Structure 1
Amino acid sequence: MTGCAFGERLREIRQSAGMTIEELSAASGVSGRAISDMERGHSRAPQERTLAALTGALGLADPDRAGLVALVRAERAGGRAGRPRTGELPRGIGDFVGRERELRELRGHAASGGGRTPVALVHGQPGLGKTALAIRAAEQLRDLFPDGQVYLDLRGTDPEPMGAGEALRRLLRALGVESRGIAEDEQERAGQLRAITRERRCLVVLDNAADERQVRPLLPGAGAGMVVVTSRRLLGGLDGVLRIGLSPLTSAESAQLLRAVAGRAFDQAPGYELGAVTRLCGHLPLALRIAGTRLASRPGWTMGHLAGRLADADRRLANLQVGDLGVAAAFALSYAQLSGPAKVVFRRLAHVPGADFAAAHAAVLAEVDAGEAEDRLDELTELGLLQHEGCERYRFHDLIRLYAADRLRCEESAQARARTGRRLGDWLLDTAVAAGLRFAPDAGGPGPDDRPGLPASASPEQARAWLRAEADNWLPALRSAAADGRHQRVADVGEALHWHAERSVHTGRWAEVFGLSRAAAARLPDRRQEITHLAYYGWAVSVCQRRHAYGVDLAMEAYRLAEDLGDTREQAAAMHHAAHAWRLGADACQAVAAYRLALDLAGTAGDHDGYVQVRMGLAQALVEFGRPDEAIEEFRGVLRELDARAVDPAAARMAAMTARAALARCLGDVRRWPQSLAEAVRALPLAGAHGPHFAGRVHLTLGRSHSALGATEQARAHLTRAIDLLGGHDSGPGTAGSRAPSCTRALCEVEIPVWAWHRGIAQHAHVGVHCAEHRTTSIGVAQAALADLDGRNYVDTGQTAYA
């Protein structure tokens, strides 16, 4: 471009003002290279902002300024205007909502150059509004880039994305380089782009990038400009890049966007209908915009009508489409880019019933090893089709899950889907059984085999973690097995899990689990299984749901069945469950009588393990009913029976630890402190072998005993240790975390014991004074200790004593 009247006039004015190009650049903020290109006619007419900066720096009077403006307008009228159309920013969204934090990050990054051109990557799953954010940022950052803005769609989701060479050619043309001046070699073009952007303060938006290989040659080196890249991929191979991952909108932002698009239909909608629509849209900007557009273009529709349509999961994606815009179409672009094996994993993950899953699920569904499953999950995550949930788990966005289910229905036969779903369900239930058996008294060795997600050598802690993490997956699998009439399978799961249930009473699922196993067992020919699962169900409704009367009814139903069969052992077990339910219902007379009957029945049946457990339960009941002297004799009786009876070794170790710890506590309750201290000393090594919550309880008793005997330093040491072991620990049967307040109160002072009783269970809060003037403060501490206990309900499982 030669003979540019504007450029020649600009040079004349600059020289008349006695300014060099460098001086004008410093004064105006326009790069020296850009000024040089204008004067030589090598660039197009400047934008209004650039022109204003130049005329201001030159100090032009109104006539000279008007003359320059006229020259610019004349060149534009002659077809020499601004950037070429191919480099113009697309039209922005007028009702843009949210993303304030991301916009602040981009503005801050724009000002952080320091020599190297800042590059930001906006990434995330389809439909989150990555392009909209990039354009909004460009609009807000115009003042920082007087040399202009350039936009290029790299078509990264097309079957054939734009090549780097073609992208370089388009960027160079948009920056004013004539076609004949663009190098043929791709590397030379990249050098040309770096040379131009080094001298210009311009913003480049590279939208919809395919991969690192496409983007890397387009990035400047040093310079005062900025590049914003958008991509569904993380582009982990690019270094020195600010990565901004987008998430769905918040509930408030979703409502704001829906209001902006839907208009009148939004204003007339009640809040619950609005909440339903935003939730069913998954707070995804694309889905919300489509939903709002459908409402705005259909005057007869209401928000409730749309919510009803979206509530049908099988039709939700079809209802989230308007014109050529659709949520499913956006997802399909990413799905098409997956490898064949990743497509299989993606669609089969729709079989997972819960919200999140791990690589083990993918391995089972796709019938591959764990390593290959992880590779496929990485591919899905890279394309934004999966999201990380913690360290080793993943989840779908709700709408992407529906798309995966749609692909599964379309691409696999009903028979294949049934086989895959059954394979996943069997694996979940097999692993749940293996995990549950890790809590059985004789579970000393490895499990039956090495399962994905739960190795054969899994510890009880690992088994507990798996059961908790997978609760929303194995429980639906159990429901499916029950619905399919696989009665023995359901009963086997219930039998295995009852060991774990007794150690996690507050999870809220056990009444359903044992309700299913009870119903299944009732359909089996072996009536003894029905008795067993009736008892388990009775335990669950009493302990977990606090429906103690119903728990008694179920236990007595099991007792009558056992009586009909002449099975004394099962009679003893059923009566034990009835006694426990009466005990939790605070019916002391019935509970003690039932325990004693169960004790006689277990003795008659020769059930040594059961006999010890029943006697332990009787002793604990006596504690709760305020009869500590009788409880002391029963705990001592338990210890004698352990020496006299052939009890399972693992169960015997647990019973000995529990009995000694509880005996020490009871002796302290009746102020027999030397004996309490002696028993606690014996209990401590046993408790330490069973986990921190048991050891913490014994340290609490030791602290109380030492305090009462005047050994202040020893008391403080044990109470401090109790706090360390019990504070926040929740692996015990519902009580460990609740011990920390008592220990803290005990540690505050060590002289005055305060007894707090709640629902018949003795809870101890030691409060005292260092000296007389602190007595008022200590009373407040005591009241706080009691307040900590108020409203709590500590449940004994029959396996362990409460300290």
Structure 2
Amino acid sequence: MSFVVLGAVTAGLTALLAALDDRRAPGQSPEPTGRADDASGPPGAALVLRSLPRDTTAFTNRTAELESLVRSVHAAQEAGEVLPVHVIDGMPGVGKTTFAVHAGHVLAERFPDGQLFVNLNGHTTGRSPVQATEALASLLAAAGVPTQQIPVGDDVGAITEARAAMWRSRLSGKKALLILDNAASYRQLEPLLPGGSDCLVLVTSRKRLAAHEEVVLPVQALPPDHAVDLFVRLSGRPADALDRDVLEELARLCGYLPLGVSLLAARLRHHPSWSAEDLRERLVAARHQLGELRAGDRAIAATFDLSYRDLAPEQQRFFRGLGFYPGTELDVYIGAALGEVSVAVAREQLDALYDAHLIDEHPGSRYRLHDLLRDYARGLADEGDSMDHVQAVQRVCTHYLAALAVANEHIVRSGAGVPPPPDDAAQVETPVMESRTDALSWLETERPNVLACIRQANGLALYDLVIRLAAAMAPFLRQAGPWDQAVGLHRTAAEAARQTGDQRALAGALAELGVVRRFMSAYPEAAEALNEAVAQYDAVGDRRGKADALNQAGIVWYLTADNDASARAQTEALALYREVGHRLGQANALADLGMVRRQTSDFDAAVGAQSEALSIYRELGDRYGEGNSLRDLGVVHCLMGEYERAMQRHREAFDLYSELDDRVHQAYALNELGVVRRLRGDLDGAREAHTQALEYFVELGERFGRANSIRHLGVLDRLSGDATTAIRVLEEALQVYRDLGIRGGEAAALGELGAARSVLGEWDGAAEAFGRSLEILRELDDRSGEAEVLNHWGELLRTSGEAAAGRERFEQALGLARAIRCPLEEARALEGVGRCVWMTDGSDNAVETLRQSILVYRRLGLDATADGIERLLVTQAG
């Protein structure tokens, strides 16, 4: 087996390793990326609910609209036609979202494959409309696509198209319901539309969105009698206890809008001593006092004013503070930060605002202001001291820094450099996160809000907060992606550091940018950012930071086959880590140096470096580092022909990954176990291991690992005599490697494809595959892989009657194998030379060479192969 394959394996695992160790394994994105326009400004993200928001009691009888929608859906489904997009438009406050959510609940049973709700922020004050590419990333993640598989790149247009295609593919054949709330334009939502015929899309918008395939459902203000009925129901008063004429006047005064009716009814419910006439007088007075409207139409603004003035002073202050929140949804912890109160008090305040219909509640004890109420709260807040806004954002950012510090304790490996919490973190109440799962769930939920806060902080020139929040989000974005979002964030942090002249912060942002660029396979950009980070760390005398950046730069050079540069970088990083006493850094540098030594076929040095890394990982109790080093050692021992030791290392790694419940790493360890079993002649055991690994990879959506399993199974097909199947599956693996840009995998697949074609006598096709494989392997300086392919090519020439040319290939392979001490390829080359000599010079001249191959095969424990050659010699002697 070629050792470049392990390099490719490591590359494919980047995202997972990044989650476990943000200084450890080299890697790249498993999707092709763009290289075009750079996005400007901090990134954003869409908030996606995986289930519908709760149905509201404020929904009133919109029988005609609901029947029209249900009838349209039923007709399309029964006729087997494509479900049209249904656009629900209308003025602000008319109840578009409430109607869409209610209709979604009514129709949910017809869409059993799931319901998703996306807020596109088309008309949300203080928030930019969600870009289609951001919404698609969130939708794909919500639909179960592993985030490392979501296409990334700098060309926004190309990436949007790629994500849209993946989204359509994901929903193909599914019956799902998608609510796209608060759309700004058809251009914003068009890429989000599923391609299948069985998905229902409900869009809400203040604008009329033109598209030929849509069904427009205008939602108008309520009919007077419906508005009155809603008021009575929400007021908690008997209908006969209220003056109908006054109720009709109240409904008219708030424009027959459900939002206004709900607020007025809540006022009456909270004041048992008031009559409907008392409420009417207060509303009329509020309308006269408005002057310049704070939000929307005078009718709805008056109801806001009345509801606001009915709050206690501390509740008014709390409500005003919500107007400063940059995010979309909030919980009690954010409420506490905004209001400068305890979480217990914030919970009371939010409950009071919800009870007063001034705030909506979403699943998970989360709250959201209606856009009009958000406008109103912001208008009230802006009437105060201009510093209130800055201080509110500072408090929210401080809260997120404290909460991120808690989350990072669960997702960053010990000693890997967790961004520190703010100085006053002890005074900040943060959500309880007891496990890695809790932390990741919280991070995914809060991602859009944290990014919105970074945008706001950047706009307010709060650059220190921008830098610190970006650093605190980095470990999560390394794992969760999408990586173009991380690129935008770290660029913003770098620019903020330049604004403040903070060289250390600039170095940190550049180092993170380089790591993410490596994940995206943008190696020149990664090297540029990391080299600048090294220089910046050097300038401020930060040896630990410089070592981290050198370690990452070394990984980039390893992946681009600049082995000398990689070895120098890792050696310098190791020395710096030793100077500062950073044990995990030492282990990481040693492990990465071991991979470079293996790539250059210096197996003894590779074992030495990796063994020392393993010892440190065990000392630190770092189970993932231990597992990774064990697996890497197993591959080196396999290349050295030490099969029993290789099996032991791979089993130990598999057991560790099983204890950690890491199925992806288990699958990679299974593939390595399968390779050793195959080389030892246990083809059934090898097939069992590769098949199990393939099942894991398919289940987890890991394309690179799946390609490896398929390639190994193709080799087994060839060895079992089914070369036709082998060619088919190897071509499938080859295409995936090319799609992913995995050069080592491509070379390995080409070499095996050539061997399979040789079996069928496809001489020209086999030779072409061998030639292309060797080009890549020599570019990567993979001498073990080169020897393997030369042996395959020699066998092709020998069996096609060109023994002299075959002998030349075998002798080239023999020289390489002996130089790097790779005994399996040495034995194969010796056998090949002997058989070629037998054909050209006679059996007597071939005996000695064949006997040498027998000795090596027996030393490797490959007795069946040695016995076959012994029988050949005995036959000749007879």
**Structure 2 length-normalised TM:** 0.46
Structure possessing the higher relative contact order (Cα contacts under 8 Å, 6 or more residues apart): 2
- TM (normalized to structure 1)? 0.50
Mark the structure with the bigger radius of gyration: 1
Q: Which has the higher helix share?
A: 2
